[in-house]
């Protein structure tokens, strides 16, 4: 294969008047002469100009939407509008045809996200999804850069685990037993001692408990890996397989935790605004076009770019759970019976409540802290009132909760009591209790749902459109 130049490098430092070779996919083909070529390295296309009189007729017939071609020619300043320069092709080779007659499903027109999800093996070829997945990459890189530059250590926590960090039980079980052939004990229960790991195991729902080991030895660590929830939730905000970022820091309290969460979110958004301006601008225009014919009340209060800059430029509002409940109880939607779910101290806030606080009450991200202990996990530090725990959630417009975190319970006696109250067997987490018995320290951390952050930054309305191959109830394609 002859050496090629990537379009991104050509656009950055154009080798004018030199003969170059480019390869990529045809985004458009006009007048049998002008090819818009894209190789994925940039949002922008490169125009390749061919002379149909000089080109083999068979090759000309194979230049279709998303055909893959190789073109060699001189890079010159363009005389036409829309591009600064173009390649005058002297040679064109078809690397891969994409004839619609052969059944290629994509067409050079707008196609619905639902249709593209069904054909996810092709959707990254579209402008929208190539932008989304370039930005997804950028956010992932920025995560590692943020923590590395601040002296954190990256931990790889296990994907197969014997613990349920959330205590929710919504887990995918891991076993070598064949369905309906698992060995049983006299009481009819499964004899897990005969399984591969000699105990019941599952796919992880969080790397937090293991990350605490790292924080209580190395000071500050973070995890970034896949997590799994067997929730039967068919919503635009939930996936069965998703990625989580979980920093864990020794000598942090809940206020340090909130400071880290806010700074981290702003850093990621700022990085994308600075590094991928063309992709963000395209997605901003996409949303504007989609909402043109919508009723005003259904449109976003701000465009995507404006929203991202607003988040970066303003402090997050910080309130307690009790204050949040009071605000909701005194709100017009509550008094008019417009909320679907009840509002009562001691009940968890629902997405509609979170969005009201963010989008209507404060019109910016909100951090809610000090939740009732009975709706939170066993490891969260009990506050002095005995009713609430030092937990916090970061709420964003459009998607609700994007971060959940807490100061962890470092007091051995308090932790044992909470585990007993929640019927969590102490023997299963003996090592977790040991972290409190020997050299324990105050510490805190949080989990950021990676796909929800990607969803917010790209403005996509469905979380299934920000992960290449979404895993949802009834769907494990590709």
By three-state DSSP, how is residue 447 classified? strand
Q: Is the pLDDT of residue 71 over 80?
A: yes
pLDDT band at 441 (very low <50, low <70, confident <90, very high): very high
| Residue bearing tokens 């997945």 | 133
* Residue 179, CB-side half-sphere exposure with 13 Å CA sphere: 0
Domains of the chain: 7-106 (2.40.50.140), 125-170+205-465 (3.30.930.10)
pLDDT at 134 (0 to 100): 97
pLDDT band at 2 (very low <50, low <70, confident <90, very high): low
pLDDT at 267 (0 to 100): 98
pLDDT at 1 (0 to 100): 58
- Nearest-angstrom CA–CA distance, 372 and 385: 10
pLDDT at 162 (0 to 100): 85
Residue predicted with more confidence, 102 or 271? 271
pLDDT at 69 (0 to 100): 97
pLDDT at 238 (0 to 100): 84
Q: Is the pLDDT of residue 478 over 90?
A: no
Q: Are 24 and 69 in contact (CB under 8 A)?
A: yes
Q: Is the dihedral of CA 341, 343, 348, 350 positive or negative?
A: positive
- Nearest-angstrom CA–CA distance, 44 and 48: 13
pLDDT at 170 (0 to 100): 84
pLDDT at 164 (0 to 100): 66
Per the prediction, the chain carries an average pLDDT of 93
From residue 221, alpha-carbon distances to 119, 245, 266, 315, 435 in Å are 38, 11, 20, 25, 16
- Report percent pLDDT > 70 for the chain: 98
> In the sheet that 153-155 helps form, which strands lie side by side, from edge to edge?
153-155, 220-228, 241-250, 443-449, 400-407, 388-396, 366-372, 317-320
pLDDT at 168 (0 to 100): 52
Mean pLDDT of 315-333: 97
Q: How far is C-alpha 282 from the chain's CA centre?
A: 19
Q: Are 408 and 391 in contact (CB under 8 A)?
A: no
pLDDT at 12 (0 to 100): 93
| Residue bearing tokens 């009732």 | 372
pLDDT at 180 (0 to 100): 87
Over residues 97-153, the pLDDT tens digits come to 998 888 899 988 888 999 999 999 999 999 999 999 999 999 999 999 999 999 999
Mean pLDDT of 52-60: 90
Q: What is the DSSP letter of 402?
A: E
Over residues 228-257, the pLDDT tens digits come to 999 887 777 789 999 999 999 999 999 999
Residues 6+ apart with CB under 8 A from 422: 167, 378
Over residues 4-35, the pLDDT tens digits come to 999 999 999 999 999 999 999 999 999 999 99
Q: What is the DSSP letter of 408?
A: B
pLDDT at 432 (0 to 100): 95
Residue predicted with more confidence, 297 or 136? 136
Mean pLDDT of 427-450: 96
CB atoms within 10 A of CB 450: 24
pLDDT at 436 (0 to 100): 97
- Nearest-angstrom CA–CA distance, 158 and 172: 14
Q: Is the pLDDT of residue 407 over 60?
A: yes
Mean pLDDT of 31-59: 94
pLDDT at 216 (0 to 100): 98
Q: Are 163 and 209 in contact (CB under 8 A)?
A: yes
Q: Are 170 and 232 in contact (CB under 8 A)?
A: no
pLDDT band at 165 (very low <50, low <70, confident <90, very high): low
């Amino acid at each position: 294969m002859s050496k090629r130049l990537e379009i991104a490098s050509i656009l950055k430092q154009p080798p004018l008047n030199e003969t170059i070779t480019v390869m990529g996919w045809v985004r458009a083909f006009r007048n049998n002469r002008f090819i818009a070529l894209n190789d994925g390295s940039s949002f922008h296309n490169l125009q390749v100009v061919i002379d149909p009189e000089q080109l083999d007729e068979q090759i000309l017939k194979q230049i279709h939407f998303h055909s893959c071609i190789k073109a060699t020619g001189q890079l010159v300043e363009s005389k036409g509008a829309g591009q600064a320069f173009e390649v005058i092709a002297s040679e064109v080779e078809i690397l891969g045809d994409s004839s619609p007659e052969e059944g290629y499903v994509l067409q050079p027109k707008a196609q619905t996200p639902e249709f593209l999800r069904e054909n996810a093996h092709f959707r990254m070829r579209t402008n929208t999804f190539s932008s989304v997945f370039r930005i997804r990459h950028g956010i992932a890189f920025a995560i590692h850069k943020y923590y590395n530059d601040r002296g954190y250590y990256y931990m790889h926590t296990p994907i197969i685990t014997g613990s349920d960090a959330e205590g929710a039980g919504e887990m995918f079980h891991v076993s070598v037993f064949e369905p309906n052939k698992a060995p049983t004990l006299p009481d009819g229960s499964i004899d897990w001692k005969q399984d591969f790991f000699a105990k019941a195991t599952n796919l992880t729902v969080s790397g937090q408990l293991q990350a605490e080991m790292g924080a209580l030895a190395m000071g500050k660590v973070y995890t970034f890996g896949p997590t799994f929830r067997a929730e039967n939730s068919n919503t635009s905000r939930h996936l069965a397989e998703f990625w989580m970022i979980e920093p864990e820091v020794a000598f942090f309290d809940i206020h340090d935790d909130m400071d880290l969460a806010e700074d981290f979110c702003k850093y990621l958004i700022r990085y994308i605004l600075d590094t991928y301006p063309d992709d963000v601008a395209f997605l901003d225009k996409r949303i504007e076009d989609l909402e043109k014919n919508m009723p005003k009340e259904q449109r976003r209060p701000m465009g995507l770019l404006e929203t991202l800059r607003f988040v970066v430029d303003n402090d997050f509002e910080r309130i307690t759970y009790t204050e949040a409940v009071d605000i909701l109880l005194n709100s017009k939607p509550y008094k008019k019976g417009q909320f679907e779910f009840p509002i009562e101290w001691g009940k968890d806030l629902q997405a509609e409540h979170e969005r009201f606080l963010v989008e209507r009450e404060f019109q910016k991200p909100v951090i809610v802290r000090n939740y009732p202990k009975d709706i939170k996990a066993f490891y969260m530090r009990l506050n002095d009132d005995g009713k609430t725990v030092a937990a916090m959630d970061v709420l964003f417009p459009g998607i609700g909760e994007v971060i959940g975190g807490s100061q962890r319970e470092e007091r051995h006696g308090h932790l044992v009591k909470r585990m007993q109250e929640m019927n969590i067997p102490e023997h299963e987490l003996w090592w977790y209790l040991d972290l409190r018995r020997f050299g324990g320290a105050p510490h805190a951390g949080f989990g950021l749902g990676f796909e929800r952050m990607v969803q917010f930054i790209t403005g996509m309305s469905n979380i299934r459109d920000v992960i290449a191959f979404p895993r949802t109830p009834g769907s494990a394609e590709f």
